[in-house]
Structure formats: structure tokens, C-alpha cells
Amino acid sequence: MSILGSVDFTKPLIEHLFKTACGEHRVENKILMNVFFEPSTRTSFSFECAMKRLGGEVINFTKETSSINKGETYEDTIRSLSCYADIMVVRHPNKDYIKRASEVSSIPIINGGNGNGEHPTQALLDLYTMYKKWGNGFETKSVLFVGDIKNSRTIHSLVSLMKNYPEMKIQYLAYDGCGPDESMLKQVSEEHGQKLEEIEINKVENYDLYDVIYCTRRQKERENGIVGEPDIIVDEEFADKLKDDAIIMHPLPRNSELCVSVDSNKRCYYFEQMKYGVEIRMSLLYYVLNIKN
Ligand code: NCD
């Protein structure tokens, strides 16, 4: 079983992974291959940490020292790497390359981020963070996505995962030029029974409406990425207007859109979010390595 997008997480699977996270899992004698063609701090190291905590081993591929520099194709590289491990996490700037990896790999592929496409395990840890905060009460929470809605793969994957929870509400507050396209709006409207015209907002009128503020940086490295400073900043003033038990999430890395001063606000939840990544990735690795394919 590969995890190429949030669509691969069914509701029973999400619930199983949430419930079994923190269990006494072991995967001795298994190897994870980390294959990152794009920079990463949290995703690569949290997968490495998760695998090691499970008792497994990790190999980190680096493009710079590989035979890609001798002209080897991507497909031959992936096919070869799949002979040396039991599971592979792949990140690539080109949206199509995760699927291409899954077509030649002999082991399960986990999408660690494909261009401006998806980042399903980040979405899983994001939803898990809400579950840890509210238990099953997360199923009726309202989320305001702030930032580069168009290019943030973490937002794309989280919205896709949230369709399993139609009572959750979604709104978008986008940076200038980074708004959702019509199909994204239509999808949210249909899946969450929200009026189309109310999903995209250009200003927060009522701060009490939101349980989660999910902020992302401007994806400057993406095609049509817009340069310059973001026109929306989550600072202490913004944070203090929110409900007392609202949480501020961010997949990180942050740029100037999320002020360091928010780190000490009681609604700051992005460091917890980051830590939950290890637990839920342990749960996922254990599951994928143990199911009969
Ligand atoms: C995100 C990513 O790589 O998509 N980071 C992450 O995995 N935690 C977010 C980003 O780069 O903006």
C-alpha cells in the first residue's frame, strides 16, 4: 500500500492510526529509504526519528552523491533504491514524480510532498493535532486557512483529508494573488455544505468563528510564486482576538507571516503540531509495513 495523496486515508484508517498512535509498536529489521529531491527539516527527520523509535533503520539518499550525476534516470534510481529498503518516502518539486516513483518501485511509496500538489502525511499529523487537542470533538471545528491557498500542498492535502469530516467548516483568507481556484471552492462547498460565496474571505470580521488558524508561508519556489512580503501577518494582536481555546497551527518553516512573538501566546500550537508528527508517522509506518499488500 502506497500513500500518494490524502485520498489514500479512508476514515476507518485515519481513526485506526489515531487510536493506535503511541502504542508499543516495533518494526525490527525493516529499512526506510528517505528520498528528498527538495529541502526538508521536519518531514525527513521526523520520518527518520519515527522509524528509529520503532526499532527500524534508515537510509538517506542524496541526489548530489548518486548516479543521477552519471545520467541515470529517475525511474532507474527509484527502482534501484527500492531493492535496498522496505518503504520509501519521496519528496520532489515536480508534481508528477511521486506517481512515477510508485509505478516502478517494488516497495510502498509515501508522498513526502510533491510540488504544489499534496503532502498527505503532513495533513494526517495536522488532523491528529486537532484530535489531540479536542478528542473526537475535532469533528465539528472550524478552520481558517491563511496564506498561499493556491500553492500550499499542506493545505491541499488537509482540505482533502477533512472531507471525511463534513461537519468541519473551512474558510480561506489568502495572500494577494494566492487565492483558491473555482474548483477548490466548489469542492469545499459541496463537501462541507457551505455557501460558495462565504468560503473565501478577504478580512477576518469575526475572530470568534474559528477554532483553528492554519497559517502557511508564501510558496516562493513554486511556479507563478509571488515574491515580496505577505499582506497578512499573524501577530500577537491577531492571536489575542481569537477565542481563548483557539489554536494557531503552521506546518513550518515560517517566514514573516507568523511573528515570533506569537510563540509565547497560549494559542500557539505549531510546536506541539511538529512533535505529533513523530507519533503519527510511527503509527503510519507500522501500519503500512504490516499490512498484507
Ligand atoms: C511544508 C512543505 O514542505 O510543504 N513543510 C513541511 O513539510 N512541514 C510547508 C512549506 O514548505 O511551506
User: Which ligand 1 atom is nearest residue 42's CA?
Assistant: 8
Amino acid present at 176: D
Q: Residues 243, 196, 119, CA angle at the centre, nearest 5°?
A: 70
Closest C-alpha to 245, from 118, 141, 150: 141
Q: Is 154 in the pocket of ligand 1 (CB under 6 A)?
A: yes
How high is the pLDDT of residue 228?
75
How high is the pLDDT of residue 163?
98
Could you tell me the pTM of the whole model?
A: 0.96
Are 259 and 233 in contact, with CB atoms under 8 Å apart?
Answer: yes
How high is the pLDDT of residue 181?
92
Q: Is 114 in the pocket of ligand 1 (CB under 6 A)?
A: no
Q: How many angstroms does the Cα of residue 254 sit away from the middle of ligand 1?
A: 9
User: How far are the Cα atoms of 78, 90, 223 from residue 46, in angstroms, in the given order?
Assistant: 21, 14, 27
Q: Is 113 in the pocket of ligand 1 (CB under 6 A)?
A: yes
How high is the pLDDT of residue 222?
82
How high is the pLDDT of residue 57?
98
How high is the pLDDT of residue 23?
86
Q: How many angstroms does the Cα of residue 292 sit away from the middle of ligand 1?
A: 31
Q: Is 252 in the pocket of ligand 1 (CB under 6 A)?
A: yes
How high is the pLDDT of residue 223?
63
Q: For the purposes of burial, counting CB atoms within 10 Å of the CB of 242, is it exposed (0-12), middle (13-18) or buried (19 or more)?
A: buried
* Low-confidence residues in the chain, pLDDT < 70: 223-226, 292-293
Q: Is 44 in the pocket of ligand 1 (CB under 6 A)?
A: no
Amino acid present at 117: G
Cell representation of residue 143? 478552520
Are 226 and 219 in contact, with CB atoms under 8 Å apart?
Answer: no
How high is the pLDDT of residue 230?
87
How high is the pLDDT of residue 291?
87
